[in-house]
Each structure stands twice: as C-alpha cells, then as structure tokens.
Amino acid sequence: MQNETTPRRQVPGIKAYNHAAGGWGALRATAKAVREQMGVLDAPITLFHTNKPDGFDCPGCAWPDKEHTSTFQFCENGAKAVTWEATKKRVTPEFFAANTVTSLLTRTDYELEFEGRLTHPMAYDQASDTYRPISWEAAFERIGEVLRGLPTPDMADFYTSGRASNEAAFLYQLFVREYGTNNFPDCSNMCHEATSQGLPKSIGLGKGTVSLDDFDRCELIIAMGHNPGTNHPRMMGTLHEVSRRNVPIIVFNPLRERALERFTDPQDPVEMATLGSTRIASSYYQVKVGGDGAALKGVMKAVLALDDASGGQVIDHDFIATHTNGFEALAADLRATAWAEIEAASGLSRADLEAVGAAYAKSNATIVTYGMGITQSTKGTSNVQQIANLLMLRGNIGKAGAGICPLRGHSNVQGDRTVGISEKPNAALLEGIERVFGFKPPHHHGHDAVATMQAMKAGFSKVLISLGGNLAVAMPDPQACYEAMRSLDLAVHVITKLNRSTLLIGKESIILPCLGRTEADVQEAGPQVVTVEDSMSMVHASRGSLPPASSMLLSEPMIVARMAMATLPNTKVDWMHLVADYDRIRDAIEAVLPEFEDYNRRIRIPGGFRLPLPATERIWNTPSGKAEFLIYEGLNQNTDDSVLRLTTLRSHDQYNTTVYGLNDRYRGVFGRRDVVFMSGSDLAKFNLRHGDLVDIETALPDSAHNRVSGFTVVEYDIAPGSVGAYYPEANPLVPLAYHDRVSGTPSYKSVPVRVVPSAAA
C-alpha cells in the first residue's frame, strides 16, 4: 500500500489501524457509548434486556439470534443503537423556543441528534421561525384537515423507515389505503429493493432462503458487498464460528475491511484473555466498485468450463432440468462474454475468478451473503439475479447448508414489507384487506422513494407523512431533495430525535414524538409487545421496559390510529379497539395474511416463528413455476480513463443518517468525515498526494450541480479505479435520476466521478 521510499505524509485524524477488529477496543467503545448517553446504573440493565426472550429487539441490525438468547452485552454497535435511544438528553419546547429553525440548519446531523429525545408534539410557526408546542388533538385535527382537502389522495406520500413494528406498519398501510393511495416510499427503496424486485423473478421469493442453522452446515461462504464488523455485528459471531470450522470465506469488497480479515470475538473469553484473533476471509478479492456483475459472470464462466472438462460433474444438471428455465441461454451468454471484458469490468484477474469457481465447484453447500455493495447500483437487480444464478448452478437453493442471504438493513424493514408497506401491492394483500375490513383499497401503483421526491419537486405531491426516518438526508442529491421538501404544504414527522428533514420546511411542519423500542408501551389492555421480522424471516416479539423519555409520548400504533380517525370520518376500521390491545392488531394481520396463522400464540414461544419460504422447499412462485436463470446484459465498464467509480460508505460510528461520533476506527479515520479514500496507484495517476485537498464532481450528463469540495484525499487499500466517501456527506454526488431502472434503487455505490485538486486549496 505505502511506497517504502516515501514516508507517508502526516494528515490530521488519519492513523492506520493495525489490530484485529472487535476485542477490547469494542468493549471500550461500548463503555464510552454508555457513559456519554446513559446513566451507568441503568445501562447494564437495559443492555441486558436486548434480544432476550422477554426483552426488546435490538434496533441495531436485522441479523437473527439463536432462540433470541444472545449475550448481547458485548455487541458494540448494538450498544450504540440502544444507548442512543435510551439517552438521558432531551429536546424540550424550551430548546425549540431558544433555537430558530434557520439557526438549527447550520448544525451538523451529528449535533442535531446529539441533543437527545423529543418530548412534545411541535408545530412550526412561520412568524417566529421556531417550532412551538401543539396538543396531540390539534395536531391530528390539522393533519386530517389537510389530507381531506387534497384534490386526490395521490398528492400525499407516506414514508416508512424500517424501525416501525409490524403492528405500526400494518395499521399505517391500512390507514393510507383506506384514505385512497398506494404512495408508500420506504427505506427499502434505497436499500434492498433490488432483492425485493429481483429475486421473485429468479426464485419466486423476494427474501433470503437461509436460516442460522445453515451456517452450521455450509462448506463455503461467499460474502459480497457488506461490512458486518460495523453494520451486522452479531453476524461476526457466526462468521467467527464458521471460520473456526475451517470453512473457506471468500470476500468480494473493493475496500479491505478489517473485520472481514481478522476478528477477536468479545464473547470468546479465551481469545480476549490471550489477545488472540481469528481470520475471517480465506481469500479477499478487491473487486472494482460496480464490478460485481462482471465478477459473478466470470465465476460462472469458470464453473461452466470446469463442468465441460469434467464431463458434466460440476453443475447440478438434475436440479437444472427439474427446477429451472433459461440455463442454455445463460450458458450461451457466458461463453460469448470474453475474459478480457470480465477482467476490465471487475478489476479481477481470470485466475482469481477461476480460483473462486474451483472453490465453488468443490463445495457441496454454499451460502452467498450480500449487502449494499450489490444492491445500490444501476445494475442492482441484475447483480442479485446473478447471485441466484450462481447458486442455482449447483442446486444451492432449497438445500441444507446452502442458499442466498441478503443482509437486511433496518431491524424490521423486512417485516414492514411483509405486512403491506409496498407501492405495488400484490393481489392477495388487497383482497385480504377488502375481505376483512370491507373497503376497496386502491389498486393503482403508487410512488416509491425516488418517485416521491420527483413528484414533490414537480409540485404534484403536497403532503409528506414520515413514520420514522430522515428521508431528505437519506436520499441522494440533497440539492434536489431539499428543494422538494421545501415545496410541501405539510410535512409530518413521527420520530424520536430531531433531524434535518424536520428543518426543511415548506408551509407547515409537525413533529410527533413517539416511543422507541426500548420503552414500555402501555395501552388500555396493559403493557404491550410489538413484533418484528429479521433477515431470516423469523418473527418474534419485542417488549420495551424503560420508562418513556417523556410522559407526552404516544406509541406509533396509537399515532397512526389517531391520524386515521382524524382523516377518515367514515372509516370502516375500529381504530381504538385495535390499539387498545395489540393482540387484536395481530389478529387482523393474520386475517388478512394467512401466513401469520396462529400469530399471537406463536410469538409467545421464545424465538418466535418462521414465515413460510416456498423457495426453501423448491416451490417456485414464478409465472412458469420454475426458477429462472436471468442474464446480465452488458458489463458496467468505464470507457473514460479520467473517471473513477465512487462508492458511499457507513463509518463505524453511525447508523444511517444518525452520526454517533466522528471516528471510523477500523479504517483509521478519527474526528472527521470529510475524506475520500483512493488507491496509491490512482494517487500517482492523478498526480495527487495523501492529504491533498480535492473536489469531487459527478461525471454524468446533466450533473453539473452534483459536486462537493474541500475533501481530503486519504491513501487507502481500495481497488484501483474506485474511490470511497461517507454517506451522507457524499450524497450530493449521486444524481436523483441515477438509479436502477428496475428497482428504483439509487446508485449510491457506483457513481462515475472525477477527483480534482480543490479550487478551495
């Protein structure tokens, strides 16, 4: 990485990290999060209740837990997520009175959320440019009045972030559909939509097919485009175990991520005591940003060649004949794709890809895990389908120890989808709603996240209601999205903490503060539990126990119910009956969606239950009744040599738009986020030095305004031709229109850019 003869220049805040990930550093960081956000007395008890059968589901990630009995206390980033919510800090009406919205806008995202939990419903007052307290009653009345006043319900958009429980999300979609629209932008549109859209076409199911037990039996893992040491920390325990069984783990990632190389499991007393660690990746391939489709084609081409050479012993021809369509066309396309093209687009050599093909041919049970590096690209859907193709070649779907494993983002993003948050609802859901509630829900498709912003920007959409999240900051192209937010008649934010989206005000804006996961939710029938679905389709209960951050807070289901009642005077739904006892909401879910059979009984079993996944039984819910091999058309290649591919990354100290701190320990960045990672060879090529100040410009048509300036370039072990910067600082570089045409997912992970010496320098 570093040239021996030129010592690396000192750059403030940049210091190489040379240890394994995890270990004592993780424990120290956990203690710091507790100290800064919570009282040291409450914290151990709160953390103890995380992911326990009678406790709450960790809001940190969607990785499952065996029987939900993990020793969670030592999960650093889980602890940050929990303590951030359970903080002692408060944002009160006095805080709002003392700070105009204009002044709050000058604060960073980190500073805004650091102020703490919201305590009162607030409405924006134009005259004083401040938020002022409003009663719940008046807030709901006003929302109802504005929604009823729109010429058509399609002029309102209803965003969901993936923390909402099944119960809240189900009521929300019921309200919005009775109101009359399917405008359901959600965080999944920015995240795993390529999975939700792409996999049903391949295997008839838009979710993963593996369970935790499969990891005990797999013979190979291929891990693509995810960073579990930071984003799915509990997965590290699983990878650690798999590695100790000597199972190869092949990683495709443009950056060398420390936790994917070596990890000390804080739950392992021997490793901790001896300062030992375990290797995670057996081989690490630094694929070019955006080069995964090409890499997967290369691996499949190699598998095909091995099959030819062995007289048909490598590919599972029986599986293919019985269960699939399209193999011949796929094989013909792979044979016609030249190695030179694959090498250029993936940045990997033929020999490397053949080595992966050989390992894959040897394994009788392979799991492919993947994250945002695969989905957030103009080719996201196609990428996901290539993973399915590769697995199908050896019958690795519906086989013990094998399958496809998308790593979901938010802790209940998958559940929200299951219970009806979808701009393209399926017929079964609509039929179920009509049968159970006696109104006809709209059938026409609604807006996804990009379409919502475009409709707001065009002046068509006038109201945005957000159930959680920070939509304007999470979306690409803030210049376009902030302007869109400022064109609204009314924005309503059901949230726990102040964020920038609440400060981008058109005519009216209302903040409705809600309970978080960690807090006790008491309704008429007594203390309630909510339910969530993890990455492996396990549904289980979550029970908060902390006293609410303020006595004024309402639960999300209650807020949704009261919005619905205020909006729909002739509603067919008995909202108050449902929210009085969440068992009744679950009964309603079960009545609409038969896969939730016996819902209330089964969530009372520790660990919950698994939703049916037809593909795991080799039942393919595709139009043909078979799994489909789908071809990747063309390869994503840079033709212009001055153009690099930018990927946007999460640091170790953030949860999406929530920035907990300014360090990214494993990548060696401390106290700052204004950096761009670049390989040594690209530094030389573009005549730049480690530490130089640069501007970054998007190299696409109509992207003149997509630029950032004054970033510091950091020499990093990243694939040549690729650069990385943090989300959301780099979001101005992602044009709103630059997304996957099939799934609508913004291309956050693969933007053509130029990096030039800074005009500000």
- Select the residue interacting with ligand MGD from 657, 698, 712, 747 (CB under 6 A): 657
Task: Give dist(CA 195, CA 202) in Å, integer.
Answer: 10
- Smallest distance, Å, CB 191 to Mo ion? 3
- Partner in contact with 748, chosen from ligand MGD, Mo ion, none, beta carbon below 5 to 8 Å by kind: ligand MGD
Contact 648, 675 (CB under 8 A): no
- Select the residue interacting with ligand MGD from 495, 659, 676, 736 (CB under 6 A): 495
Task: Give dist(CA 517, CA 239) in Å, integer.
Answer: 27
Among 208-216, 423-431, 654-662, 663-671, the segment contacting ligand MGD (CB under 6 A): 654-662
- Partner in contact with 297, chosen from Mo ion, ligand MGD, none, beta carbon below 5 to 8 Å by kind: none
Q: What angle do CA 318, 320, 325 make, to 5 degrees?
A: 145
**Is 153 a binder of Mo ion (CB under 5 A)?**
no
Any alpha helices (H) in 636-739, and if so which ranges? 680-685
Residue 501: phi, psi to the nearest 5? -60, -30
# chain residues binding ligand MGD, by CB under 6 A: 63
| CA 193 vs CA 74, 382, 424, 744: distances in Å | 31, 12, 12, 8
Q: Kindly report the length of the chain.
A: 761
**Is 648 a binder of ligand MGD (CB under 6 A)?**
yes
The nearer residue to Mo ion, 441 or 724, going by C-beta atoms, is: 724
Strand partners, 369: 223, 405
| Exposure class string for 564-593: b at 16+ Cβ within 10 A, else e | bbbbbeebebebeebbbebbbbbbbbbebb
Query: Which residues between 555 and 614 bind ligand MGD (CB under 6 A)?
Result: 556
CB within 8 Å of 345: residues ≥ 6 apart: 288, 291, 293, 294, 635, 636, 637
**Is 409 a binder of Mo ion (CB under 5 A)?**
yes
Task: Give dist(CA 623, CA 662) in Å, integer.
Answer: 49
Other Cβ atoms within 10 Å of 338 Cβ, number: 11
- Select the residue interacting with ligand MGD from 143, 190, 250, 644 (CB under 6 A): 190
The nearer residue to ligand MGD, 179 or 370, going by C-beta atoms, is: 370
- Smallest distance, Å, CB 227 to ligand MGD? 3
**Is 113 a binder of ligand MGD (CB under 6 A)?**
yes
Among 407-415, 430-438, 473-481, 627-635, the segment contacting Mo ion (CB under 5 A): 407-415
Strand partners, 554: 514
**Is 255 a binder of ligand MGD (CB under 6 A)?**
yes
- Smallest distance, Å, CB 192 to Mo ion? 7
Other Cβ atoms within 10 Å of 560 Cβ, number: 30
Site string for ligand MGD, 277-296 (x = CB under 6 A): ----------x-xx-x----
Among 37-45, 202-210, 408-416, 480-488, the segment contacting Mo ion (CB under 5 A): 408-416
- Select the residue interacting with ligand MGD from 46, 209, 211, 231 (CB under 6 A): 231
**Is 731 a binder of ligand MGD (CB under 6 A)?**
yes
**Is 695 a binder of ligand MGD (CB under 6 A)?**
no
Ranges assigned E (strand) in 57-155 = 90-91, 117-118, 122-125, 130-133
Residue 248: phi, psi to the nearest 5? -65, 140
Among 34-42, 488-496, 574-582, 608-616, the segment contacting ligand MGD (CB under 6 A): 488-496
Residue 735, preceding peptide bond in cis (omega within 30° of 0) = no
Site string for ligand MGD, 429-468 (x = CB under 6 A): --------------------------------------xx
Query: Which residues between 609 and 628 bind ligand MGD (CB under 6 A)?
Result: none
Give the full edge-to-edge strand order of the sheet including 530-533: 530-533, 538-542, 609-610
List residues binding Mo ion (CB under 5 A): 191, 409
List residues binding ligand MGD (CB under 6 A): 60-61, 77, 113, 161, 163, 187, 190-191, 224-227, 230-231, 252-255, 257, 287, 289-290, 292, 371-373, 376, 407, 409-410, 467-471, 474, 494-497, 499, 514, 516-517, 556, 647-650, 654-658, 727-728, 730-731, 734, 748-750
